[in-house]
Structure 1
Amino acid sequence: MNMPTQTLQSEQGDVRLSARKQPFNLLRWFSLISLAVIGTVAVALGAVSTRFVITESVQRDALLTSQFIQAIASAEVRHVSIPHVRTMGELLDPRQDRNFPDVDPLARAAARGEFLDHIEHLPDVILANIYAPDRTVIWSTNPALMGTAIHSDEDLEEAFKSRIPVSASYHDVDKSRMEQKFVTPPEYIFIENYIPLFDADGDKVTAMVEIYKEPRDLIDRMERGLLLIWLATALGGGLIYLGLYWIVRRAAILLAAQQKQLITNETFVALGEMSSAVAHSLRNPLATIRSSAELALEFDAGAARKNINDIIGQVDRMSKWVRELLQSLRPLNDEAEPVNLVAALHDSLMAFEQQIAKASIQVEFAPATTPMVLSQQVQLSQILNSVLSNALEAMDKGGTLSIRLESTDDQTVSVVVSDNGKGMTAEQRKMAFRPFFTTKQGGLGVGLVLVKRIMERFGGAVTLESREGEGTCVRLTFKLTP
């Protein structure tokens, strides 16, 4: 009762074990990991570059704005004739007018008004505020802010303490900040600049100018720059990914081909050792059987004569198998030499002349050129004989054997052998070049295997196309002699 259960559990364990031992898919894992790594690096580079462009653009604009404001302040002071007043910062706070009783209030107001008018009409300004040292707004383009004390602005505090221009960029209005009360709200991005104005000694900040700008031209340039950065990052990352993917794909294909070739070589080595031992062991018994049959044939002229001839015929067929098997397993180490392809084809057709005539097969072969190909005379004859033999055996009475030469380029030439025989199924086509697979009764299944090995040995190739009931077409591609 327990045996079937144990067997089922064992089979399930084997299935799970085989599922766990799936081969490592180099291309798939590389494509996923490399895509993640390259994508992360590309996004990081894009983000860093974007941040750098925005920061540099904002700081550059802030520097130019600060220099412009300070230049205006210096110019306006030089045009004002007011005693004891040396900088524009000393004029901006109206509450300080009482400290200068000897100065005409109208003169101070006129000088202050000229500077503020320049500030108000700066290009791209959406809000301008001026702070006294006590953080009170003493002037603003938004009258609602005048007289408001600001004590929670970190950038303002930093500008007063560091005594250097401070800038920042925003995408959204911070409603919690009292100073960001825009008459005309910004549309996309706006820049905040704090520009300090000093006393004559340059030690004390007498006023702080706050400028909110929405520079259209700068924003357009920044957008184009960011677009180019992300396009370049995406294109560069994509090219790197595709280049590495192509290299790894070629490597994976090469590794798979080498692995397949290694398995094939190991299979041939094992089959060679086994088959060579079997073949050599069969040769002597076969020779003895044939000799005995021939001897019996000389002494027996009766009814057993037909049986003895059958024995001799079967022994000859087995001997042929042994020769083909040993030949297919023999290493191919000979060097290539120029061989006349058309002459070799004519010789092979002559060898099958009787079989062609007996089967009433029509041969179509009219070469226009006589190319010289890289091969070996003996092995080329073996290739052609094997292909022609398969084609003739596939046809019944009255078939057509077509042989033509096709020149694909200056370095190769192809021999196309076609028949209108019984053809092959899709499954048979897949198995055609595997060792010991054959569709012929009494065949050994090493003919096409040997053809493929010899063609590849000399830098050529063989392909097969076939449809059941329509025929088969074998293409042999040879390298031309230089």
Structure 2
Amino acid sequence: MNRIDTAAASQFDLMRRFLLLSLIAICLASVVSAALMSRFLTQRLLQRDAELTQDFVQNVMAIELARGYSLDHPQAARGLLDFLQHVAAMPDVARANVYGTDTTLLWSSENRLGQGKKYGANPELNEALKGKLEIESGEVGVNGAAKAEHFYLGKSHMRFVEMYIPIRDAATKAVIGVVEVYRIPIALSRAINAGTALTWMISIGIGLFLYLVLFWIVRRADQLIRSQQEQLVESETMAALGEMASAVAHGIRNPLASIRSSAELWQDAPQALGGESANDIISEAQRIEQWIRELLTYSQLPDYRREALDPRPLIVQCVTGFAREAKRRNTAVDLALAPQLPPIQANAALLTQVLNNVVCNALEAMPAAGGRIVVAADAAPGGREVEIRISDTGAGIAPADIHKICQPFFTTKAKGLGVGLTLVRRIVKRFGGRVRIDSIQGQGTAITLVFLAAGR
């Protein structure tokens, strides 16, 4: 089956490119913002945890070791080392080390490290000896350039936090060493992972929301631009066509009326010769006059004021008006109207013109042997629209012509002008509806007029 929906139109290339570029930009912005926010969140949580640990260690040392402490004399350092043994036994603490001012390891809760050793370059330790709190985090066994004192720290791939806490002399406040605390913060790691996941989810959600909003705005703008462009082209075409139609109509109608009158007098004359020729003249004059009426109607700007309209009486009136022509063409016309048909947004005069055009086309498409036309009307699913469907068993439309059938002055009929369906489409669209054409060549055509239900 060949189908065309006059309300559907393909998105032009500019819209697709714009949406593709906006998708790339939004995805990139979301990923970068999520990564930066996750990194900031992780650093802030680790920094805050280290500051709390530093405050705890320094405050407890100030209270419990109020008599003073030193790293220069073993007796004076005994109280400090006993305190650090308690620190190393705290939950999540994997190790505690004490370094002197020359970066020598003076004491460690891990006996296998060995005291009195230096473990090479350690920028964090050097900064801590200047009085700064330093933090380092990572995973055990992941970093190939891990420090030597990371040995025996724990299972591979476990997150650790390394804190360098300066120790100050109780009297002079000078830095006399550094306490290095290794923590395996399980609860903190869970909080960091949850915060990171939430950050990514929020970033992706915001990016998706922005893209959907942008897609809706661009789509609406695209539809508005195309609609205005069509109206502009149509208005310009109608202006030129109106001037031409008026000139042609005024120039042809008067002599055409004289020709027809003369042929009728000739036809009515007693024992007139050439009566068949007179009939041909009258028939062709009527056909030319019909063309002129269609051309004038198409070129004019009709009244598109909407009203709540019951389509049932107009459909019945249209079918009744074509009853004699249908009988002459040996064609049956059936009605299939829903019992509860809601009113539509339309105009009585224009709807009548639309129905007449479509039914007339259906009759003209019938073969000489006749056929069947069905005029049906029912509410579309949801009740927001009403569909009027005129189907016939005529010749149908060729696949190559289905997309051109509503173009001005395109016709497949030998004696057609090509403005009937164009006028139908124009009127229905102005009322907010659309026209759908389904056709199978050799089997028939169905034209569906979709109108908005009144109050929608």
* TM-score bracket relative to the smaller structure: 0.7 to 0.9
**Equivalent residues of 1:363, 1:402 under 8 A apart:** yes
- Aligned residue among 387, 394, 417 for 2:365: 394
Displacement of 1:244: 0.9
1:41 lines up with 2:11 in the alignment: no
SS of the residue corresponding to residue 87 of structure 1 reads coil
Structure 1 CA distance, aligned partners of 2:310 and 2:157? Answer: 82
Q: Which runs of 5+ in 1 are unaligned?
A: 1-22, 79-85, 98-104
- The residue aligned with 2:211 is 241
Residue 146 (str. 1) matches residue 115 (str. 2): yes
What one-letter code is carried by the residue in structure 1 that aligns with 2:68? Answer: T
Find the aligned partners of 1:481 and 1:66 in 2 and give their Cα distance: 74
CA distance, structure 2, for counterparts of residue 324 and residue 67 of structure 1: 93
**Matching residue of 2:127:** 158
Counterpart CA distance in 2 for 1:404 and 1:212 is: 82
Q: C-alpha distance in 2, partners of 1:196/1:366?
A: 93
Residue pair 2:384, 2:453 contacting (<8 A) in 1 also: yes
Superposed displacement of residue 441, structure 1? 2.1
CA distance in 2, matches of 1:327, 1:62: 85
Q: Deviations over 1:370-389 (max 9, x none)?
A: 86555444433322222221
Range that drifts further, 181-190 or 320-329: 181-190
Of residues 270, 273, 292 in structure 1, which corresponds to 2:243? 273
Cα 1:110–1:456 change in 2 (3 A) is: closer
Matches within 5 A, 1:177-256: 177-182=147-152, 184=154, 187-256=157-226
Please say if residues 127 and 142 of structure 1, whose CA atoms lie closer than 8 Å, have aligned partners that are also in contact.
Answer: no
Measure how far apart 1:320 and its partner are: 1.9
Counterpart residue number, 2:296? 326
8 A contact 1:275–1:326 mirrored in 2? yes
Letter in 1 for 2:105: V
- Distance change (3 Å), C-alpha of 1:34 and 1:429: same
**Are 2:65 and 1:77 equivalent residues in the alignment?**
yes
How far the C-alpha of 1:265 sits from its partner, in A, is 2.7
Letter aligned with residue 204 of structure 2 = A
Q: What aligned pairs does 1:443-482 form with structure 2 within 5 A after superposition? A: 443-479=416-452
Q: Which amino acid aligns with 1:437?
A: F
Residue of structure 2 aligned with 1:66, choices 44, 54, 60? 54
Greater displacement, 378-387 / 237-246: 378-387
Q: How many residues align?
A: 439
Q: 1:193 to 1:331 in 2, by over 3 A?
A: same
The AA in structure 2 aligned to 1:152 is A
Alignment counterpart, residue 68 of structure 2, candidates 87, 104, 125: 87
Deviation at 1:352, TM superposition (A): 2.1
Contact 1:411 / 1:480 at 8 angstroms: preserved in 2?
Answer: yes
In the alignment, the residues of structure 2 paired with residue 389 and residue 24 of structure 1 have an alpha-carbon distance, to the nearest angstrom, of: 36
| Pairwise CA distance, 1:416 | 2.2
Q: Which deviates more from structure 2 when the two are superposed, residues 440-449 or residues 307-316?
A: 307-316
Deviations 1:375-412 (A, max 9, x none): 44443332222222122222233522222221236565
Measured in 1, the distance between the counterparts of 2:167 and 2:341 equals 97
8 Å contact kept, 1:126–1:182? no
Provide the C-alpha distance between the structure 1 equivalents of 2:343 and 2:84, rounded to a whole number of angstroms: 96
**SS of residue matched to 1:429:** coil
Shift of the 311–266 alpha-carbon distance from structure 1 to 2, 3 Å rule, reads: same
Structure 1 pair 142–35 and aligned structure 2 pair: CA distance change class (3 A): farther
In the superposition, the TM-score normalised over structure 2's length comes to 0.84
What code does the residue aligned with 2:232 have? Answer: L
Structure 1 equivalent of residue 389 of structure 2: 416
The question of whether the paired residues in 1 share the 8 Å contact of 2:105 and 2:117 is answered with yes
Provide the residue aligned with 2:378 in structure 1: 406
Is 1:56 the counterpart of 2:37? The answer is: no
3-state SS of the aligned residue for 1:126?
strand
What is residue 118 of structure 1 aligned with on the other side? 86
- Match for residue 102 of structure 1? none
- In 1, are the aligned partners of 2:98 and 2:180 still within 8 Å (CA)? yes
TM score, norm. by length of structure 1:
0.80
In proportion to residue count, which structure has more helix?
A: 1
Confirm whether residue 132 of structure 1 aligns to residue 104 of structure 2: no
Q: Distance in 2 between matches of 1:77 and 1:414?
A: 92
CA distance in structure 2 between the aligned counterparts of 1:366 and 1:151, rounded to whole angstroms: 95
CA 1:376–1:136: 2 relative to 1, 3 Å? closer
The aligned amino acid for 2:406 is F
Deviations 1:207-250 (A, max 9, x none): 32112222222112211211111121112112211221122122
Q: Distance in 1 between matches of 2:251 and 2:284?
A: 17
Please tell me whether the aligned partners of residues 325 and 446 of structure 1 are also in contact (alpha carbons under 8 angstroms): yes
User: What is aligned with 2:412?
Assistant: 439
SS in structure 1 at match of 2:170: coil
- Check 1:359–1:64 CA distance in 2 against 1; reply closer, same or farther (3 A cut): same
Instruction: Report the counterpart of residue 427 of structure 1 in structure 2.
Output: 400
Instruction: Read off the aligned partner of 1:405 and give its amino acid letter.
Output: A
Cα displacement (A) at 1:349: 2.8
2:320 counterpart (350, 361, 368): 350
Q: Is the 8 A contact 2:326 2:363 kept in 1?
A: yes
CA distance in 2, matches of 1:124, 1:374: 74
Q: Distance in 2 between the 1:450 and 1:286 partners?
A: 25
Secondary structure, counterpart of 1:439 in structure 2: coil
Give the counterpart letter for 1:406 in structure 2.
D
Secondary structure of the residue that 1:251 maps to in structure 2? helix
Tell which has more relative contact order, 1 or 2 (C-alpha 8 A, sep 6+).
2
* Identity within the alignment, %: 37
Contact 2:336 2:374 in 1 (8 A): no
What CA distance in whole angstroms lies between the structure 2 residues aligned with 1:441 and 1:337?
37
1:133-166 superposed Cα distances (whole Å, 9 cap, x missing partner): 23222112244441124673222222222x2432
CA contact (8 A) 1:372 1:481 kept: yes
Does the C-alpha gap of structure 1 residues 231 and 371 become closer, same or farther in structure 2, counting only changes over 3 Å? closer
Instruction: Name which of 20, 28, 32 aligns with 2:20.
Output: 32
